A and B are shown apart, each in its own frame.
Chain A
Amino acid sequence: MAVKTLTIDGKHVGAEESETILEAATDAGINIPTLCHLDGLTNVAACRLCLVEVAGTKKLLPSCVTKVAEGMEVKTDTERLRKYRLMILELLFAERNHVCSVCVSNGHCELQSRAHQLGMMHVRFQYLYPNALVDASHERFVVDHNRCILCTRCVRVCDEIEGAHTWDVMGRGTASRVITDLNQPWGTSESCTSCGKCVHVCPTGALFEKGRSVAEMAKRREFLPYLAMMREGAR
């Protein structure tokens, strides 16, 4: 495996050629904010938080899917990137009904911690207050669309790791919704194995276990890199 050397935020970094900028940065202790990325799942480059500047290209590149290259000069924390990341978070908060104070994942939420990390003080956009539903038909889990940010981690973990493909996305634009089977109540889904992986990869309180009250729903993801590695090995 060939090794590439590049600089990230002025720091010299060595990385395997198959690695992404995000992986190389993480190895070097440089934090790039992400939301849709999760170790062990394929990357979709949808949240756009991990965009970085690379010398020589005018376009901003998603670090989760951009491979490292020899001599690459990457900047992960410029004023422009900070401004864009902040606006993306504002857009997400305005899109659905995110009310931290009554959320099961308060204190354990990636959306919330990103907002905290990036210093989001308020939302300048009009709140859309969509009429989003809650599906509590499953015996153990609940999906609350008010808190969904459409990162599709649940869709990917169900398809790629569990192999059930219970989750998918329907509709388009801001009316998109994650659905179970052919948009039927989760409790009636025939493909769902009730493994709960979707719940634990969900970055927000959109998917949670029944019986959890405010701030009680911490997610456990230790299983994922392990399972992903096992799958790789089996291949």
Chain B
Amino acid sequence: MLLEELIGIAEKQREVRKQICVRCCMSAGCMSSQSAEVKTALEKAVAERQMGDLIEVRRVGCMGLCGPGPLVSVEPNSLLYEHVTPENAGSIIDALTSAGPIKAERCDPQHPFFTRQTLVVRANGGRIDPERIEDYIEAGGYRALHHVLTEMQPPQAIEAIIKSGLRGRGGAGYPTGLKWATVAKSVGKQKFVVCNGDEGDPGAFMDRSVLESDPHSVIEGMAIAGYAIGADQGFIYVRAEYPLAISRLQVAIRQAKQHGLIGSAIFESTFNFNVDIRIGAGAFVCGEETALMASIEGKRGQPRPRPPFPAESGLWGFPTLINNVETFANIAPIINRGPEWYAGFGTEKSKGTKVFALTGKIQNTGLIEVPMGITIREIVEELGGGAPEGAKLKAVQTGGPSGGCIPAEHFDASIDYESLTQLGSIMGSGGMVVMDDQTNMVEVARFYMQFCMEESCGKCVPCRAGTVQMYHLLAKIAARQATMKDLELLEELCDLVKNTSLCGLGQTAPNPVLSTLRYFRNEYLELLQPAG
């Protein structure tokens, strides 16, 4: 593959484009509400009306607004339809040729939900066919890889990522460039690049959507990382619960190989890079990097103490770079448009954009990508459209079972790693569950503790036995059978599990309890029995 061939593919794509493109969302959310049938109906309608020369129906990835799916958009007319059914899909085609009335529900593409977003990672979502590499190439794909391989030395590529200010999108927010530089400096006969796609937080589906909508962006990011750190093998670890993401990744890897965009001598350089998929077996803990590596090695997915860090001794003892799906998806845009452009978004310490999965008691459910530094209020009230009618918002839960609940009085806080930590929550991978005043916060804490208890690997005592006891105490409180003494014991346990657990999972497991206790202590106290 040469640059000319890449440009050639893109040009050929543009030539065969039809005048009107009807895009049908085919990611897991919309497919669960029959979008595959909708697409078939759209194709049938085009064929029946003999409009095949003018209109094409395209499978695309996630458009973001998952709640009212399936979504269908029409370009260049900038039309958007929601709740499309196989029955009314044909009327979308009719309306285009003024042959009949439109029966599908219109959705306003000028709604703040769309206009307030800044698309970097999700730029191709809802636009390209995730199963066609030509679509990705047409959208500028693999140009960044070419640029890096032909114009940059590995240290320059790392420098660009450092300059962009990108921080890990998996939750902890470690500076990505710094991580790359560390692995690049580590000495080893072999090095590995690992993509962490074991997204397991309740209410989070950012990574799934990226993998389903734009798998090549992750592969390209991994290849660039491989070049920067000196690795020739990559693994994408995806949870088995994401079958569509896995199959799209398989297609994408095959196509990239066929086009010589991964494999040997990429762009006729001396750089070789292969990508393989490893599928998780349903354990949340495998999202923790040392457990993930054990799982890739074929061992029981359990964390081990760090140091040594993966950068020094990772997969099979070799230096290993582990980044999250969203982190890798940010790489190509940073190279293409420059680190300064990327660093232009966000706050001083948190640069760029972040994808959030907005769910819970909110009007607009779906995926959003916003610049760091936006306030929670803007997200919830403007993009999210506020609470459903008649309800009053109470809190937002961020960061999944490792995060916490941020009460409504702190909605003006800005979204960045530091301020969320200060509020007793974390950025996390991007789950954002909105709760209204009907939500019982003790129940919320109990739900997350049940999750942690069931997902504890069982290796270290505080997490294995401590989460069970915390769960029992929360259940006792919820059942109005607890006294002040139980609450004190619960707090002691939180302190123990937080400070003595082996891995990040255990250390953060008490967070949902601690944050609800911090902001909603009254709800706990109301449920207590008088001592006696």
Using a CB–CB distance below 8 Å, which chain A residues touch chain B?
44-48, 51, 59-60, 62, 65, 84, 87-88, 91-92, 94-95, 124-126, 128, 149-150, 168-169, 171-176
Contacts and interface: CB of A to CB of B under 8 A. Distances in A.
Given A46-B502, A84-B499, A124-B489, A172 B458 contact: yes
A169 B299 CA distance: 11
A51 B500 contact: yes
A171 B500 contact: no
Contact of A91 (B283, B457, B465): B465
Interface stretch (B161-169, B358-366, B466-474): B466-474
A101 to B, nearest CB: 22
A44 B500 contact: no
Contact of A173 (B455, B462, B469): B455
B496 A172 contact: no
A60 B459 CA distance: 17
A88 B464 contact: no
Contacts of A150: 458-459, 464
- Give the top 5 A-B pairs by smallest Cβ distance, nearest first: A176-B458, A91-B465, A173-B456, A45-B305, A95-B465
20 contacts: A44-B304, A44-B305, A45-B502, A46-B461, A48-B461, A48-B500, A84-B499, A87-B496, A92-B461, A126-B472, A150-B458, A168-B300, A172-B454, A172-B455, A172-B456, A173-B454, A173-B455, A173-B458, A174-B458, A174-B464
Contact of A46 (B285, B300, B460): B460
Nearest to A49: B461
Nearest to B466: A91
Interface string B446-486: 00000001111111111011111100100000000000000
Interface extent on B, as a size class? 20 to 34
Contacts, number: 88
Contacts of A47: 460-461
A92 B496 CA distance: 14
B340 interface: no
Contacts of B492: 87
B493 interface: yes
Nearest to A89: B461
A150 B460 CA distance: 9
A128 B466 CA distance: 12
Contacts of B272: none
Nearest to A87: B496
A161 B135 CA distance: 56
A48 B454 contact: no
Contact of A48 (B455, B458, B460, B468): B460
A95 B461 CA distance: 10
A76 to B, nearest CB: 14
